[in-house]
């Protein structure tokens, strides 16, 4: 994350004015935001696992081999973006649904989507999303 702060706060107390050096606060704010985003990544990661292994989609989990679950990659880049990806070829099919060809036949079968990422990030599907605001606020207060 990149934050910049070059400023002086001037205030008037009676007849004199003074500069306040806020650089120590900026360092604490940076640390709080960094730590808060790191905690958010961990909370989202745990919720993604719950969405895949839980019963949010019709009473059963969506784990067969465990490859989808193990292929999760969640990162926080320097801009503060949280990037979620799953590195198995069928991840989009599981998430969004679609048609597949039945082996040895020309028949297509529709596989309904099970939007596990949406389930992990929103209040749908019986999961509670992380309280992003509180996570950040707690880290800002502790720094």
pTM of the predicted structure, to 2 decimals: 0.74
| Domain assignment of residue 10, yes or no | no
| Domain assignment of residue 3, yes or no | no
| Domain assignment of residue 7, yes or no | no
The dihedral formed by the CA atoms of 43, 48, 53 and 57, expressed in degrees to the nearest 10? 120
| Domain assignment of residue 6, yes or no | no
| Domain assignment of residue 9, yes or no | no
Total structural domains in the chain? Answer: 1
Residue 138, domain extent: 20-142
| Domain assignment of residue 95, yes or no | yes
| Domain assignment of residue 61, yes or no | yes
pLDDT tens digits, one per residue of 37-87: 999 999 999 999 988 888 777 766 788 788 999 999 999 888 888 999 999
Q: How far is CA 115 from CA 21, 48, 97, 134, in A?
A: 48, 10, 8, 25
Q: In this model, does residue 18 exceed pLDDT 80?
A: no
| Domain assignment of residue 108, yes or no | yes
């Amino acid at each position: 994350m990149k934050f910049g702060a070059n400023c002086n706060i001037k205030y008037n107390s009676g007849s004199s004015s003074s500069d306040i050096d806020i650089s120590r606060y900026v360092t604490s704010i940076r640390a709080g935001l960094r730590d808060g985003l790191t905690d958010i990544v961990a909370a989202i990661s745990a919720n993604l696992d719950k969405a895949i292994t839980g019963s949010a989609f019709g009473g059963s989990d969506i784990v067969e081999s465990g490859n989808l679950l193990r292929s999760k990659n969640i990162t926080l880049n320097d801009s503060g973006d949280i990037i979620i990806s799953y590195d198995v070829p069928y991840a989009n099919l599981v998430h969004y649904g679609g048609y597949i060809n039945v082996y040895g036949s020309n028949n297509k079968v529709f596989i309904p989507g099970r939007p596990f990422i949406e389930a992990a990030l929103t209040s749908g599907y019986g999961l509670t999303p992380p309280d992003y605001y509180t996570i950040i606020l707690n880290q800002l207060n502790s720094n």
